[in-house]
Amino acid sequence: MTAQSMKLAVALATLAVLAPAVRAENAALLVGGAVKGKERTELTDAARSAAEAASWIVVTPQVTSSAAACIDSADRAACVPKLVNPAKVERVIVLRVAKEERDGAVMQVVTGWVFQVDGTLVVADRRFCEQCTGDKLRAAAKELTSAMLQRARTPAKLAIRSTPPGALVFVDDIPVGATDTDYGIYAGVHVVRVEKQGYESATRTVTLTDGETMTVEFPLRKIATNPTRDDRPAPPGPGAATSSTSTSSFDLLPLGLSIGGGALLVTGGVLFLMDQPESENGEKVPRHRETTIEAIGAVTAGAVAGGIGLYLLFFASESKPAPAPRGPVVGVQGGGAWLGYRGTF
């Protein structure tokens, strides 16, 4: 299983566990009045989209002739419960479109009601649509539905606590005070964030139902600070202050052998050039220099010394432990001073 598949499986399992705790409002939506056919369908779709945006689950029963008569009736509270199945919905949203004349102009009026399933009126409102087109009428129905459902809900409450208290609180990115605080809000999904100087910010997503009071606890964690590390060497003893100078840990022997070997190789080359034969063009040279043997000896010694130096310099030093620091040491302790030399003998 790939990492992405594992993440997806964890997310689905989390949703499966949390799903029973998430409660949404259920409502039936009925649209009637001076709208028929396609226009009624378009208004129904507009109102349903507004309800679903507010986290309602909406069903749209068929508007029969008896349902249309109930919508137009003045005694809607008595007939509305008969139009829906009370086992499946908790509210009934009714929209009615009618034409009214005002100041010599005819306008369309969208009136809305939200009932409980027993016929109890929860909220009612209306919107006027002048010089109404299809788009304007749908927008009026959508805005009316959204406003009624907002008022139909019983406000919920968030009790926001933090340890330590005094953290700034943001609900849906809006500052609402500081902990500990209680904040009234409508049901739905909300994001709560707290921030406090010197502490890590914390965020939590909560889902509230109508009238619910939820306590949200935030145990804040302090921001970790990186401690400074003192790489200075420790003093030789309690209360002693010392300063010392040590030679480089680099061993001079390999370097000396390498340089000396190179010098011998150069010397051997010079001796080869200085060598003169006993005779030139059949004539005996009066000042004869025989340097061949010296040249061979210098080249041989230089090659051996240089080879050993290079070996010690590049290979043997890798496994050799670092030498102890060496050099003069000066210290002040207990009202007196001392001078010494540190090294390995």
The string of pLDDT tens digits covering residues 286-299 is 555 677 777 787 77
Q: What's the first-to-final CA gap in the chain, in angstroms?
A: 64
Threshold 0.85, pTM exceeds: no
Reported as a single tens digit per residue, the pLDDT across 91-103 is 899 999 998 887 7
Give CA–CA dist 125/128, Å, rounded.
11
What per-residue confidence (pLDDT) applies to 181? 93
**Domain 156-219 in the same topology as domain 23-152:** no
Q: pLDDT averaged over the chain?
A: 77
What would the two tokens of residue 297 be? Answer: 């000896």
Which tokens is 34 given? 């001076």
Please state the separation of Cα 295 from the chain's center in Å. Answer: 75
Q: What pLDDT does 267 receive?
A: 80
**Fold classified for 23-152:** Rossmann fold (3.40.50)
Q: Which residue carries 């480089």 as its tokens?
A: 248
Q: Which of 42, 61, 59 is nearest to 110 (CA)?
A: 42
Q: How far, in Å, CA of 45 to CA of 49, rounded?
A: 6
pLDDT of residue 196: 94
> If you classify domain 156-219 with CATH, what class do you get?
mainly beta
For the ranges 107-116, 223-232, 243-252, the lowest mean pLDDT is seen at: 243-252
- Give the start-to-end residue ranges of the domains of the chain: 23-152, 156-219, 241-341
Structure tokens at 30: 């009925």
